[in-house]
Amino acid sequence: MALDSRTNSRSTLISSTAVELLKRAWRHEKSAPEILQFKASLVQRIKEHIELVIEKYLFYILKTDEYLNRLSKQEQMFARRCTDDLGRHLDDTVLAKLPDNYPSMLKQSITSEEDDMDVPTKNCYREFVYLPRLDTFVICEAKQYLCSLDFEPGYSMKITEMERDLLTFVCYKFIKKPLENGKIGLM
């Protein structure tokens, strides 16, 4: 638990600082009458932050094509490389020393017909795989007037409307659909 909070704190610090630097670099590049010097260290920091997020949610991302396809080709290659590296590491250090009925890092025993990771209610899944917390609250702004029909089915009773350009503090899962459709922006 302490490691997770340290990772989250480090990740938040890196992203907030890097995002501000990236915004500043973008404003400078946009306003300058010439091309400015490439900021390799800034690009590397942003890349490292993205890689931290991919590593944290690795198995969740690789579980379905829907999530995997949200990544760029380079990010997909990174995720697959991480999985391969982790698999080799676990094979060499743990699985090779266990009885044969523990064949994979995703299966708890040979009697499992599918990956044990496929059932989110199993304790091993919750403890082993980080799941995104869709019940997290976010600050968002509607780009247009939205009514209950624009929100996720089942949640439309909780949010009846959103005015354009009005900042709203709301549960992420309520606004997932309009966010994906470009009707809402996160702050």
126 lies in the same domain as 179: no
Say if residue 48's pLDDT is above 50.
yes
3 lies in the same domain as 29: yes
Of 106, 132, 158, the residue that ends a domain is 132
Mean pLDDT, the chain, whole residue set: 75
124 lies in the same domain as 174: no
- pLDDT of 78: 92
Phi, psi angles (nearest 5°) of residue 140: -135, 170
Say if residue 111's pLDDT is above 80.
no
- Mean pLDDT is lowest, of 18-27, 51-60, 133-142, for 18-27
Say if residue 118's pLDDT is above 60.
no
Its domain, for residue 11, covers 1-56
5 lies in the same domain as 39: yes
Task: Spell out the alpha helix ranges (H) of 32-72.
Answer: 40-56, 58-63, 65-68
Higher pLDDT, 55 or 17: 55
76 lies in the same domain as 103: yes
Query: CA 16, CA 5: separation in Å to the nearest integer?
Result: 16
Q: What is the count of structural domains for the chain?
A: 3
42 lies in the same domain as 71: no
70 lies in the same domain as 10: no
Asked if 79 and 57 count as a contact pair (C-beta separation under 8 A), the reply is no
51 lies in the same domain as 88: no
- pLDDT of 102: 62
Element (H, E) at 6: helix 2-31
Residues with Cβ within 8 Å of residue 152, at least 6 apart in sequence: 173, 174, 175, 176, 177
77 lies in the same domain as 96: yes
72 lies in the same domain as 111: yes
Phi, psi angles (nearest 5°) of residue 138: -130, 160
